[in-house]
Amino acid sequence: MSSINLVDLAEDNLRDEARRAMEVCNACRYCEGYCAVFPAMEMRREFSDGDLDYLANLCHNCQGCYQSCQYAPPHPFGINVPKAFAELRLQTYADYAWPQPMAKFFDRNGTLVTLLTALCVAGVIIALMLIQDAKVVFASHVGPGAFYKVIPWGVMTAFAGATFLFAILSLVMSFRNFWRASQRPATDIVRPRTLARAMHDIFTLKYLGGGGHGCNDVSDQFSMRRRYYHHFTFYGFMLCFAATSVATIYDHVLGLQAPYAFFSLPVMLGTIGGIGLVIGPVGLIWIKIISDPAPLSKKMIGGDYALLMLLLLISVTGLLLLGLRETGAMGILLAIHLGFVLAFFIAIPYSKMVHGLYRSAALIRYALERQEESEAHAAAQGKPKVKAA
Amino acid sequence: MVSLTRLYDVLVIGGGNAALCAAITAREAGASVLLIEWAPKAFRGGNTRHTRNLRAMHSEPTSVLTESYLEDEYWDDLKRVTGNNTNEELARITIRETEGSLPWLEERGVRFQPSLTGTLNLSRTNAFFLGGGKSLVNALFNHAERIGVEVLYDTEATDLIIDDGFVREVKIVNKGFPATVRAKAVVASSGGFQANIEWLKEYWGAPAENFLIRGTPYAKGRVLRSLLDQGVHQIGDPTQCHAIGIDARAPKFDGGIASRLDSVPFSVMLNQNGDRFYDEGEDVWPKRYAIWGRLIAQQPDQIGYSIVDSKAEKLFMPSVFPAYRADSIRELASLLGLDPDKVEKTISEYNAAVQPGVFDSSKLDGCTTTGITPPKTNWAQKIDTAPFLAYPLRPGITFTYLGVKVDDRARVLMANNEPTANLYASGEIMAGNILSKGYLAGFGMSIGTVFGRIAGREAARSVLN
């Protein structure tokens, strides 16, 4: 007797469960107005592992399809797309990680990112105490080069540069692995029209919009909160990154040494970004705490909390550092802040941060598929289209 | 806080769209409202959970509907499907009120979207709910609770005590415990009786055992039975229902849309004996799918088999259960438990009868058979390219049309046509007033919304005056 498997599948069969869900969804299709996943699903009748990895990363976890699903548990079909995809996404983070041995980092991501953070902060403080006289650490320093009196410029730059460049390399390799699964040439990525559409979808978080109504972020009610908190987080992060970049130019090109005045460009960017990076993670953590746990993946959520807390601690210590930089607390605060930043740089390719990478790749692929579909449709105009009841 | 000792202004029985529209309207008019839903919260919403659109009249394009759809065209569509056997007054009320229903629902949090892929034929007439009917149910329950409608889940209404046209009290079972609720007015929106197999057997006999119920298992018709037993005016033919052919492997209840199979017009339909029994290509599928439930119900063991070859596989929506697949017709017949000799004979006779023509799945292509009975009058292609595929189908009952008679104020009428004093009805329990037979896509939701609002308004008005 051929019949679909109605039993919850074991963890090593994440793709089978995702495939089963997609086969039920493809016979229903009520959710196609929510996001990109369902139109992408409808372009297929069969789902290869690569297709499922792509669809799982196309899912923004807005949970609209779960809350509106007539087949959600306790229905015998037991369909829970956001959960099935979240668990598969985590698996794809491991499967496409570079170098491969680091895939293990995703097994207990929350614990490991937290542990890494603790070690980095402790490590920087201990190293500081070993290389620096306590009097220097706890003295108040003002004027150009004040920070470097505590932690030498060369040390700071070497660690930041090495970890950041490695993170970039690792992300590029992971992106390449993920894209290869699509069996499309790399040149497809940079087609201007589809890339522009994908960038729009990425930077506006279009698919946390639930067809314009928002997510079912905490319950079956729609809300834009998650999208806005993510914007605070993302754009706050980008402003902080811009602050660092501008400061680097100030230092290396203009020869102006930090700390800079409060109303200088790097400090303004960093302050505004830092505030965003407080509001965003706090909001996202709060939403996770109060949300309906049914469509969430327990395996994923530890890593989510770990990264959000890390971002929050970076921004909070950064702002504290700004406020107290002329006092004797500056030295130790700087060490703590840089400890968090170091942990973040190391963790980028092996933390929830990679969701942005794969989701962007999935959105680029979706833009391509949609473009090709409309081209094929235009070419077939006048040719019959299959109708369904 | 729900209190069962309290005298509510309005008690609404049911948790689907019709019940919610009634409860919200009555509450907004100022009445205290208790809504009792038999299902637990996870399965709330009756058959509305499985719906996806509402047929709405409109004179100009709306947020999601194209062009216009005016009263006369809507009325003509209804006349055609019911064979002119409808209550024109109530039907026209429904049609006219659908125009305001769309914005009314939107104001209460229901989200709409343009028609779904594959339903372009409905983009002008039917407004689709974003995410489907369960999403509408969620929005309306949220709104109802926000404005102070009190809700009890897991609460079955078992009996209405009617005394001289007046509902004195309602017997309920709340999470297994019997209790009584009193209200000044009662709205019955508790659906049909399609999930009550024993009751179906009264009309269909043993074959009803083989029916699958597409929607909620909670539509047992308890309230309907109670009312009919107490001299309420019965309406509708008890054998009439919305019945389509669905995948025989679907669950007994609640299989919903995913159990649908669209292969029939591109296939040959066989019964248990290996015989064909009806013209599979009579008309386009949207106009024909709703007759196949009845056709299959009349076959031995109430089962049919849709046989296609690999040429036709991609012409219809994917099925939720995989097709039976074999490299020969004989092998396929064995998989299905049919007589291979007989099936092979039927298919070769059919193949020999197929006339040359230009196949076109998108229209009545005139590709036909000659010399076999029944003929296949469109999309007749030879079944000759392995692998061969089969899907088993059984009758899938959406809802029954037997109900209680109502007037234009949604008041339930007694057998002598006198209105009851405080009893109103909306939704499937009274849809038979308008739908005697046949079906128009999205019209059940139209009746539920319109009569739900009328029932809520009239119930509130009667108790607040």
Query: Do residue B314 and residue B294 come from a single domain?
Result: yes
pLDDT of residue A9: 41
Nearest chain A CA: its distance from B410 CA (Å): 30
| Residues in chain B where the model's pLDDT stays below 50 | none
pLDDT class of A278 with cuts at 50, 70, 90:
very high
Nearest chain A CA: its distance from B362 CA (Å): 5
Mean pLDDT of all residues in A368-372: 96
Q: Do B130 and A34 count as a contact with CB atoms less than 8 A apart?
A: yes
Domains: count for chain B? 2
Between the CA of residue A259 and those of A90, A147, A328, A330, B436, what are the distances in Å?
Answer: 40, 7, 15, 11, 82
Q: Would you say residue A388 lies in a domain? A: no
Query: Do residue B260 and residue B204 come from a single domain?
Result: no
Dihedral sign for Cα B359, B360, B361, B363, please.
negative
pLDDT class of A385 with cuts at 50, 70, 90:
very low
Q: Which helix (H) or strand (E) holds A173?
A: helix A153-180
List b or e across B333-369, with b for residues whose CB sees 16 or more CB atoms inside 10 angstroms.
bebbebbbeebbebbeebbebbeeeebebeeebebbb
Query: Which CATH number covers residue B274?
Result: 3.90.700.10
Query: Do residue A44 and residue A104 come from a single domain?
Result: no
Contact present, A115 and A42 (Cβ < 8 Å): no
What is the token pair recorded at B74?
């809507």
What confidence tens digit (pLDDT) does each residue in B310-360 have?
999 999 999 999 999 999 999 999 999 999 999 999 999 999 999 999 999
Q: Which helix (H) or strand (E) holds B398?
A: strand B388-400
Q: Do A70 and B120 count as a contact with CB atoms less than 8 A apart?
A: no
Q: Do A222 and B111 count as a contact with CB atoms less than 8 A apart?
A: yes
Q: Would you say residue B2 lies in a domain? A: no
Query: Do residue B284 and residue B417 come from a single domain?
Result: no
B130 vs A28, A213, A385: nearest CB = A213
Which of B367, B396, B425 corresponds to the end of one domain?
Answer: B396
pLDDT of residue A380: 81
Mean pLDDT of all residues in A123-140: 93
B320 touches chain A (CB under 8 A): yes
Contact present, A236 and A276 (Cβ < 8 Å): yes
Query: Do residue A251 and residue A340 come from a single domain?
Result: yes
How many whole angstroms separate alpha carbon B395 and alpha carbon B211? 5
* Residue that wins the pLDDT comparison between A381 and A348: A348
Which of A73, A94, A115 corresponds to the end of one domain?
Answer: A94
Query: Do residue B333 and residue B374 come from a single domain?
Result: yes
Q: Do B134 and A70 count as a contact with CB atoms less than 8 A apart?
A: yes
Query: Do residue A74 and residue A50 come from a single domain?
Result: yes
B44 touches chain A (CB under 8 A): no
pLDDT class of A362 with cuts at 50, 70, 90:
very high
Query: Do residue A137 and residue A52 come from a single domain?
Result: no
Q: Would you say residue A382 lies in a domain? A: no
Q: Do B362 and A386 count as a contact with CB atoms less than 8 A apart?
A: yes
pLDDT of residue B273: 97
Contact present, A302 and A268 (Cβ < 8 Å): no
The rounded mean pLDDT for chain A is 92
Which of A55, A72, A94 corresponds to the end of one domain?
Answer: A94
Query: Do residue A156 and residue A83 come from a single domain?
Result: no
How many pairs of residues across A and B have Cβ atoms under 8 Å apart? 132
pLDDT of residue A10: 45
Query: Which CATH number covers residue B17?
Result: 3.50.50.60
Query: Do residue A83 and residue A104 come from a single domain?
Result: no
pLDDT of residue A29: 94
What is the token pair recorded at A152?
């030498």
Query: Do residue B60 and residue B32 come from a single domain?
Result: yes
**Closest by Cα among B52, B191, B176 to B110:** B52
Q: Would you say residue A45 lies in a domain? A: yes
Query: Do residue B98 and residue B194 come from a single domain?
Result: yes
A26 vs B251, B256, B318: nearest CB = B318
B315 touches chain A (CB under 8 A): yes
pLDDT of residue A209: 79
For residue B88, give the DSSP letter: H
Distance of CA B350 to the CA centre of its chain: 34
Nearest chain B CA: its distance from A22 CA (Å): 9
What confidence tens digit (pLDDT) does each residue in B189-200 have?
999 999 999 999
Which of A45, A76, A94 corresponds to the end of one domain?
Answer: A94
Query: Do residue A45 and residue A128 come from a single domain?
Result: no
- B-chain residue closest to A73, CA distance: B42
Query: Do residue A242 and residue A345 come from a single domain?
Result: yes
Q: Would you say residue B247 lies in a domain? A: no
Query: Do residue B267 and residue B325 come from a single domain?
Result: yes
Query: Do residue B407 and residue B390 come from a single domain?
Result: no
Between the CA of residue B343 and those of B194, B280, B382, what are the distances in Å?
Answer: 33, 17, 14
Which of B368, B396, B424 corresponds to the end of one domain?
Answer: B396
pLDDT of residue A222: 92
pLDDT of residue B240: 87
B142 touches chain A (CB under 8 A): yes
Q: Would you say residue B183 lies in a domain? A: yes
Q: Would you say residue B323 lies in a domain? A: yes
Q: Would you say residue A215 lies in a domain? A: yes
Give the residue numbers spanning the domain of B92. Answer: 7-238+401-464
B42 touches chain A (CB under 8 A): yes
Which residues have C-beta within 8 Å of that of residue A367, sequence separation ≥ 6?
Answer: A194, A195, A197, A198, A201
What is the token pair recorded at B252?
């007994």
Query: Do residue B263 and residue B363 come from a single domain?
Result: yes
Instruction: Examine the pLDDT at A70 and tell me if it is beyond 70.
Output: yes
Give the residue numbers spanning the domain of A33. Answer: 11-94
pLDDT of residue A388: 39
Query: Do residue A166 and residue A77 come from a single domain?
Result: no
ipTM for the predicted complex = 0.94
Query: Do residue A49 and residue A167 come from a single domain?
Result: no
Q: Considering chain A, what percentage of its residues have pLDDT values greater than 90?
A: 86
Nearest chain B CA: its distance from A75 CA (Å): 8
What confidence tens digit (pLDDT) does each residue in A14-28 have?
999 999 999 999 999
Query: Do residue A165 and residue A36 come from a single domain?
Result: no
pLDDT of residue A12: 56
Q: Would you say residue A384 lies in a domain? A: no
Query: Do residue B144 and residue B218 come from a single domain?
Result: yes
Q: Are strands B33-36 and B7-13 parallel, antiparallel or unpaired?
A: parallel
What confidence tens digit (pLDDT) does each residue in B365-381 have?
999 999 999 999 999 99
How many whole angstroms separate alpha carbon A342 and alpha carbon A344? 5
Q: Do A28 and B258 count as a contact with CB atoms less than 8 A apart?
A: yes
Query: Do residue A240 and residue A308 come from a single domain?
Result: yes
pLDDT class of A382 with cuts at 50, 70, 90:
low
Query: Do residue B233 and residue B96 come from a single domain?
Result: yes
Q: Would you say residue B207 lies in a domain? A: yes
Q: Would you say residue B117 lies in a domain? A: yes
Domains: count for chain A? 2
B358 touches chain A (CB under 8 A): no
- B-chain residue closest to A28, CA distance: B258
Which of B350, B369, B396 corresponds to the end of one domain?
Answer: B396
What confidence tens digit (pLDDT) does each residue in B399-434 have?
999 999 999 999 999 999 999 999 999 999 999 999
Q: Would you say residue A376 lies in a domain? A: no
Mean pLDDT of all residues in A276-297: 96
How many whole angstroms separate alpha carbon B429 and alpha carbon B425? 7
Q: Would you say residue B249 lies in a domain? A: no
* Residues 281-310, chain B, touching A (beta carbon < 8 A): 284-286, 289
Q: Which single residue is written with the structure tokens 């629902």?
A: B105
